[in-house]
């Protein structure tokens, strides 16, 4: 079961671990290995986080959502000092490939250079959720440490610069070509993410994390938000996703 107080990426890793544990239990009675220290204690050379071809990054970003949405979305790509517009949009959606620092500082994969997470944010999320990640990216590209990023994030929350998501904020994560984290071994399941203002504990309205519920998630760590994951049956290209959670 997922627990409140964890950031969205960590909650997804727990869901992945539960799937792995279930599979392992059906194959062997051997216990799972103990958690290991982070393999990514510091930032790797910046080039390891880049995608060499801008066209490839645009295509990967658009793969987050079905073409009916992503074709007319704005696309941002990682530049020298910040994300920059690679394609202007018409529908208010914004597609982007997030890197590992989308997680909270202290996450064991915060500096994992392999992570490529295609997201396509709807207009409310593009206005109220995405700016926090874009600002953090500027800090990262300017050389901020994870400790400094943590301090700045807390300060922006205290000042109200980082605030609760707008009503209706959500994003698509339906790309089978991304690499979400090492725990997923790649892309996990196609899913949607819904952003809500943080409330105490795990609100019963969503029925999240209950046996048989397709809704996972809860409080989102540092930020004043709760994030819920809803797996869907198909990838953005229409091909079937994994059959079981």
Q: What is the mean pLDDT of each run of 10 residues along the chain (245 residues)?
A: 41 43 32 60 96 98 98 98 98 98 93 97 98 98 96 97 96 96 83 89 76 85 90 96 67
Cβ-count burial 162-185 (b if 16+ within 10 Å, e if not): bbbbbeebbbbbbbbbbbbbbbbe
Range of the domain at 128: 8-24+40-231
Q: Can you tell me the distance from the alpha carbon of 200 to that of 134, in angstroms, rounded to the nearest whole number?
A: 27
In a domain, 71, yes or no: yes
Q: How many domains is the chain partitioned into structurally?
A: 1
In a domain, 175, yes or no: yes
Q: Which of 84, 58, 88, 85 is nearest to 73 (CA)?
A: 88
Q: Can you tell me the distance from the alpha carbon of 23 to that of 211, in angstroms, rounded to the nearest whole number?
A: 17
> Where does residue 212 fall: left (phi above 0), alpha (psi -120 to 50 degrees), or beta otherwise?
left
Q: Please give the pLDDT value at position 36.
A: 57
Half-sphere exposure of 111 (CA within 13 A, CB side): 19
pTM of structure: 0.85
Q: Which of 239, 243, 191 is nearest to 9 (CA)?
A: 191
Tokens in use for 18? 């539960």
Q: Can you tell me the distance from the alpha carbon of 8 to that of 240, in angstroms, rounded to the nearest whole number?
A: 24
In a domain, 2, yes or no: no
In a domain, 169, yes or no: yes
Q: Please give the pLDDT value at position 245.
A: 54
Q: Please give the pLDDT value at position 222.
A: 85
Tokens in use for 93? 């959606």
């Amino acid at each position: 079961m997922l627990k409140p107080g964890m950031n969205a990426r960590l909650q997804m890793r727990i869901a992945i671990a539960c799937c792995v544990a279930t599979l392992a239990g059906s194959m062997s009675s051997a216990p799972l290995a103990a958690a290991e220290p982070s393999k990514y204690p510091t930032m790797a050379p910046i080039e390891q986080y880049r995608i060499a071809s801008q066209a490839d990054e645009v295509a990967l970003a658009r793969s987050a959502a079905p073409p009916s949405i992503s074709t007319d979305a704005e696309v941002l790509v990682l530049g020298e000092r910040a994300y920059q517009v690679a394609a202007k949009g018409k529908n208010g959606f914004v597609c982007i490939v997030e890197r590992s620092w989308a997680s909270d500082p202290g996450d064991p994969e915060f500096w994992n250079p392999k992570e490529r997470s295609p997201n396509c944010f709807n207009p409310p999320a593009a206005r109220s959720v995405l700016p926090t990640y874009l600002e953090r990216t500027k800090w990262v590209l300017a050389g901020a440490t994870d400790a400094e990023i943590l301090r700045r994030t807390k300060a922006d929350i205290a000042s109200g610069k980082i605030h609760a998501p707008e009503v209706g904020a959500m994003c698509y994560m339906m790309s089978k070509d991304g690499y979400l984290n090492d725990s997923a071994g790649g892309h996990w399941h196609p899913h949607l993410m819904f952003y809500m203002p943080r409330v105490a504990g795990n609100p019963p309205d969503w029925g999240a994390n209950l046996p048989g519920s397709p809704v996972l998630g809860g409080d989102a760590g540092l930020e004043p938000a709760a994030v819920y994951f809803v797996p869907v049956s198909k990838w953005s290209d229409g091909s079937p996703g994994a059959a079981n959670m």
